[in-house]
Amino acid sequence: MSIVVLDNVKKSFGAVKVLHGVSFSVAKGQVMALIGASGSGKSTALRCIDRLEQIDSGRIEVCGHQVADPGLDLRKLRLDVGMVFQSYNLFPHLTIEQNIMLGPVSVKRIPRPEAKGIAAEVLAKVGLADKVTAYPEQLSGGQQQRAAIARSLAMQPKVMLFDEVTSALDPKLTGEVLRVIEELARTGMTMIMVTHEMNFARRIADKIVFMHEGKVHEQGGPEILTAPATPELRDFVSNEL
Amino acid sequence: MILDFTPILARWQMLMDGAWLTIQLAVATTLTGFLLGTLCAVARRSQFRLAAAVAGTYVEAIRNTPFLVQIFLVYFGLSSLGLSLSAVTVAIIALTINVGAYTAEIMRAGFDSIHKGQWEAAETLGLSKVQQYWHVALRPAMERVYPSLSSQFILLMLASSVTSQISTEELTAAANFIQSATYRPFETYLVIALIYVALSLAMRVVFWAISMVIFPRRRRLGTNL
Ligand SMILES: Nc1ncnc2c1ncn2[C@@H]1O[C@H](COP(=O)(O)OP(=O)(O)OP(=O)(O)O)[C@@H](O)[C@H]1O
Ligand SMILES: [Mg+2]
């Protein structure tokens, strides 16, 4: 059963055509890695899934929501989808706990004591149980990114989207964030991750989608990374490694 | 020149009453002006063209006319509508309208300084536009523009002096009365100048104290956003 379906999705910014008919689907519990060269439209595709961008044509269905429908209740879509960004985007004036409680309390209307419990739970999951009262700027990049993942997890989404969440981190910090994501994958979370970490993608992804010039150029299991069918993917993989 | 302050100090009570009204005007219109200004900043940034245009027109109209003229327009405008309001009420309305426009520009700059990623993170959590402003943007925006904001409200307190023109009995009006009764204009205005300085300094202290309460991150870490 597919949780996310993109069907011939097209998207331009002004005169710049970015997505030229993108189609792929992700099943429940599946981990999909979205790869491709810079500018191939990976971020744009991801942002369209959460309606941060509206598509020009085609169809996107996420957890039963018709995402392109102008009448869509965005709040309901966002309750089902979590998103983590390259630049963390924690709220700097709130403590880590307040960052995490904001969604549950003001969007889901969960009582504060209960939301506090949820915050403690997700922080433990990402290994930040001792950072409850810290402010984002007091954390390292890797810790901030794990806190951002916890913030997203606290909303109990059905799908999580990751957009190059380790690109701003050095190798050591990258490792600690990837371990958290790997653990999430093991618990059966459905995930789409844009990543340049080819080894990581090969290890944990059930499905690889390679984008090239605004289109899905090749897709398949993790084995396509070692045995690419198209010259473009072969070039891309050899450049990345 | 011989300075003689005794006839002025003999009317100390009148000066104190005037200063007290000045303080009340400043406090009341700081609150109303901040509310109006922030709402206008939000309106100017909104995708509702009409709201943005109305707020923009208001801000530009106020910033391009003298405050004294604005007071007279409010004063005579309301009375020609048949509303007979007290001088203090008219003063509060005029001061609010005036400072609201300047505050709108300051808060707009504050909201504009909030990084796109912050809005998107709030958006993906499912927060409504109002919640995004309230929980995510308002305090960081205020923290960044706080020096301009507090200076603006101190200017507002000083500008309340002009409301003596519609016989609001604040500090300057008290001085106007005392100098005509004592024939000691220089001494009179020197005394109230000092009182205004004291009020300005007191406001700086109050704004600092408020910042300690509303910006706990800054209090704890001492860093800029
Ligand atoms: N808001 C926008 N306005 C105009 N052009 C945009 C916008 N967002 C993206 N683009 C353009 O769309 C193209 C694809 O961008 P996108 O960010 O989706 O690529 P990407 O595959 O994520 O690349 P990267 O690996 O560098 O993150 C680029 O040429 C980019 O300049
Ligand atoms: Mg990108």
CATH of B6-221, one of 1.10.3720.10, 1.20.1250.20, 3.40.50.1100, 3.40.50.1220: 1.10.3720.10
Residue A125 lies in a domain: yes
Interchain contact, B117 vs A87, CB within 8 Å: yes
Residue A91 lies inside a defined structural domain of this protein: yes
| Cβ contact A103–B126 (<8 Å) | yes
Q: Does A129 touch chain B (CB under 8 A)?
A: no
- Select from A86, A46, A218 the least CA-distant residue to A19: A46
- Whole-prediction pTM value? 0.94
For residue A14, the ligand closest to its alpha carbon is 1
Ligand whose nearest atom lies closest to the CA of A44: 1
Domain boundaries, chain B: 6-221
Q: Separation of A45 CA from ligand 2 center, angstroms?
A: 9
What's phi and psi for A87, nearest 5 deg?
-95, 25
H/E stretch holding A105 reads: none
What mean pLDDT comes out for the span A220-229?
95
Across the beta sheet with A31-36, the strand order is A81-84, A159-163, A190-194, A31-36, A207-212, A215-220
What pLDDT is attached to residue A179? 95
Query: Could you say which of A90, A92, A106 has the minimum Cβ distance to residue B127?
Result: A106
Q: Could you say which DSSP state residue B163 is in?
A: G
A145, B15, B149 from B146: Cα distances, Å: 29, 31, 5
| Ligand 1 nearest atom to the CA of residue A44, by list position | 18
Q: What is the ipTM of this complex?
A: 0.95
Atom of ligand 1 nearest to the CA of A86: 27
Q: A226 to chain B, minimum CA–CA distance in Å?
A: 35
Please give the average per-residue pLDDT across A165-190, as a whole number. Answer: 94
A139: containing domain: 31-46+74-240
Does A79 touch chain B if contact means CB atoms closer than 8 Å? yes
Nearest by CB to B123, from A52, A93, A151: name it: A52
Distance from the B217 Cα atom to the nearest Cα atom in chain A, whole angstroms: 6
Residues 6+ apart with CB under 8 A from B210: none
d(CA A209, CA A169): 24
Q: Contact, A55 vs A10, CB < 8 A? A: yes
Cβ atoms of residues A198 and A225 within 8 Å: yes
* The predicted structure's pLDDT at residue B84: 87
A82 vs B contacts (CB less than 8 Å): 124
Tens digit of each residue's pLDDT (9 = 90 or more) over A6-48: 999 999 999 999 999 999 999 999 999 999 999 999 999 999 9
Length of chain B: 225
CA-based nearest distance A12→chain B, Å: 20
- Whose C-alpha lies nearest to ligand 1, atom 31? A39
Question: Which stretches within B113-170 are classed as H helix?
Answer: 116-125, 129-131, 138-159
- Two structure tokens written together for A157: 């989404």
Helices then strands (H, E): number in chain B? 11, 0
Ranges of beta strands (E only) in chain A are: 2-13, 16-27, 31-36, 57-62, 65-66, 81-84, 159-163, 190-194, 207-212, 215-220
Residues in CB range of A146: below 8 A, 6 or more apart:
A126, A127, A128, A176, A177, A180
Q: Does A44 contact ligand 1 (Cβ within 6 A)? A: yes
What's the gap in Å between A36 CA and the centre of ligand 2? Answer: 9
| Among candidates A50, A90, A138 on the partner chain, residue whose Cβ is nearest the Cβ of B124 | A50
N- to C-terminal Cα distance for chain B?
53
**CA separation for the pair B178, A22 (Å, rounded):** 81
C-alpha distances in angstroms, A213 versus A25, A39, A59, A225?
19, 8, 19, 18
Contact yes or no for A167/A115 (Cβ under 8 A): no
CB contact under 8 A, B121 and A107: no
Distance CA B82, CA B80 (A): 5
| Interface residue B130 vs chain A (CB under 8 A) | no
User: Atom 3, ligand 1: which residue's CA is nearest?
Assistant: A13
Confidence tier at A241 by pLDDT (50, 70, 90): low
Interface contact B124-A82, CB threshold 8 A:
yes
Q: What contacts B134, CB < 8 A, 6 or more positions away?
A: none
- Chains A and B: how many Cβ contacts under 8 Å? 69
CATH code, A142: 3.40.50.300
Contacts 24+ apart (CB under 8 A), A116-120: A118/A154, A119/A150, A119/A154
Nearest to B181 by CA among B169, B173, B190: B173
A197, A225 contact by CB (below 8 A): no
Minimum-distance ligand 1 atom for the alpha carbon of A42: 21
CA angle B6/B10/B11 to nearest 5° reads 125
**Residue carrying the six token digits 């860093």:** B223
Structural domain total, chain A: 1
Beta-carbon neighbour count of residue B79 at 10 Å? 12
DSSP code for B125: H
How far apart, in whole angstroms, are the C-alpha atoms of residue B225 and residue B216? 12
DSSP reduced 3-state for A146: helix
Output the CA A168–ligand 2 centroid distance in Å: 12
CA–CA separation, A62 and A1 (whole Å): 12
Task: State the closest ligand 1 atom to the C-alpha of A37, by its place in the atom list counted from 1.
Answer: 25
Decide if A205 is inside a domain: yes
The pLDDT value recorded for residue B48 is 95
Q: Which pLDDT tens digit goes with each residue over B187-215?
A: 999 999 999 999 999 999 999 999 999 99
**Which residue stretches of chain B have pLDDT < 70?**
none
CA of B180 to the centre of ligand 2 (A): 73
A238 lines ligand 1 (CB under 6 A): no
- Provide the mean pLDDT of chain B: 96
Atom 7 (ligand 1) nearest CA? A13
Q: Give yes or no for residue A137 having a pLDDT over 80.
A: yes
Smallest CA separation from ligand 1 atom 22, residue: A43
Q: How far is the CA of B143 from the centre of ligand 1 (A)?
A: 32
> Looking at residues A142-159, what average pLDDT do you find?
97
User: Residue B225: its pLDDT value, please?
Assistant: 87
Cβ contact, residue pair B117, A85, below 8 Å = yes
How many Cβ atoms sit within 10 Å of the Cβ of residue A90?
24
A92 closest CB neighbour out of B123, B127, B225: B225
Length of chain A, please?
Answer: 241
